[in-house]
Amino acid sequence: MLQEFNHLMEYIETHLTEEISGKDISKIVGLSDYHFKRMFSYMAGMSLNEYIKNRRLSASNAELVNGANVTDVAYKYGYQSIEDFREHSVNGVVFYLPKSSKIKFKNHFPSFSFFIDIRGGTSMEFKIEKKEKFNVVGVSKRVPIQFEGENPATVELAQSITEQQRNEMHQLTDLYPHQLLNVSYDFDDGFLEEKGYLTYMIGFATTKENPFDDLDQISIEESLWAIFPNQGPFPAALQETTAKIYSEWLPSSDYTVADIPGISFTKYNGTSENAYSEIWMPIKKKS
């Protein structure tokens, strides 16, 4: 995976003045939009969109310092006007407008390269398990993609579950963990914008078919799963483990993420300060 990420950095460097498509990037890294954006953000500490913007600004900086015309540089790097160029330059970039009306930048943003740097890190508990095809039956909703903090839209969905729906789900469940699962799938396209929606389902795992009109059903195909248990305050411990999976475990493992819905569940045991959770990541062997 690190090799693919470094190939991507090289690709971005040679296409800074062109439109960088999600399709091409997906082909290079071999991951879906959502999983790639998430992995890149955890590893790089910024979104892919922010990284590309900063590299374009840095490259334009070098040209302007060497005397290039502001208008020529702005259009070369995809900006529609000087004003648009200025607007995109204000975050983290200090520039001046001398009498010559040329912009000169003070800072430089180098290109990234990825490598594994192990410095006495903590071990991660996990197991690899094959699961046969199963269904999840419950309620679902399109919600905004959110990597950190508690998502108000998912909380609202959980609170909307009626007693009748809960009883119907309990009638169907016949698989571990015999409690509510959180399932994420059907992510919006768009590599470069850290926004969009996904479908979020709260439901039970079952081998049965859903007979109830007020419940939704999705089928989860047979797959290998990397299962990561964790304990601590919710949702902080769950999100910290997720970050380590993407930034530490996946890059150094023999697996990549399979294009199957991701699953997690949490047992509160009366308090959210020391909740038990499991993250189920669908995986496949690297080719």
- Token pair, residue 13, equals 């460097």
- Model confidence over 248-280: pLDDT tens digits? 888 888 888 898 999 999 998 777 888 999 999
6 Cβ contact list (under 8 Å, min separation 6):
113, 114
Report d(CA 187, CA 110) in Å as an integer.
Answer: 31
Residue 59: the pLDDT is 85
DSSP state of 210: P
Report d(CA 185, CA 259) in Å as an integer.
Answer: 9
Residue 136: the pLDDT is 98
User: Letter for the amino acid at 257?
Assistant: V
Report d(CA 55, CA 145) in Å as an integer.
Answer: 25
**Residues 245 and 251 sit within 8 Å (Cβ to Cβ):** no
Q: What is the chain's Cα-based Rg?
A: 23
The pTM score is 0.73
Residue 215: the pLDDT is 98
Report d(CA 176, CA 173) in Å as an integer.
Answer: 8
Helix and strand counts by DSSP (H, E) for the chain: 10, 11
Nearest CA to 109 out of 87, 85, 93, 90 is that of 93
- Model confidence over 83-124: pLDDT tens digits? 767 665 544 444 444 444 444 444 567 777 666 554 445 567
Residue 63: the pLDDT is 82
* Domains parsed from the chain with CATH numbers: 2-105 (1.10.10.60), 127-285 (3.20.80.10)
Say if strands 275-285 and 197-206 run parallel, antiparallel, or are unpaired: unpaired
- Model confidence over 189-238: pLDDT tens digits? 655 555 788 999 999 999 999 999 999 999 999 999 999 999 999 888 88
Report d(CA 49, CA 22) in Å as an integer.
Answer: 11
Report d(CA 277, CA 268) in Å as an integer.
Answer: 8
186 Cβ contact list (under 8 Å, min separation 6):
198, 199
94 Cβ contact list (under 8 Å, min separation 6):
105, 106, 107
Three-state SS at 187: coil
Residue 79: the pLDDT is 77
Residue in this structure with the two tokens 């929606």, named with its chain if needed: 197
Report d(CA 126, CA 181) in Å as an integer.
Answer: 18
Say if strands 275-285 and 255-257 run parallel, antiparallel, or are unpaired: antiparallel
Residue 19 pLDDT exceeds 90:
no
Q: How many CB atoms lie within 10 A of CB 244?
A: 17
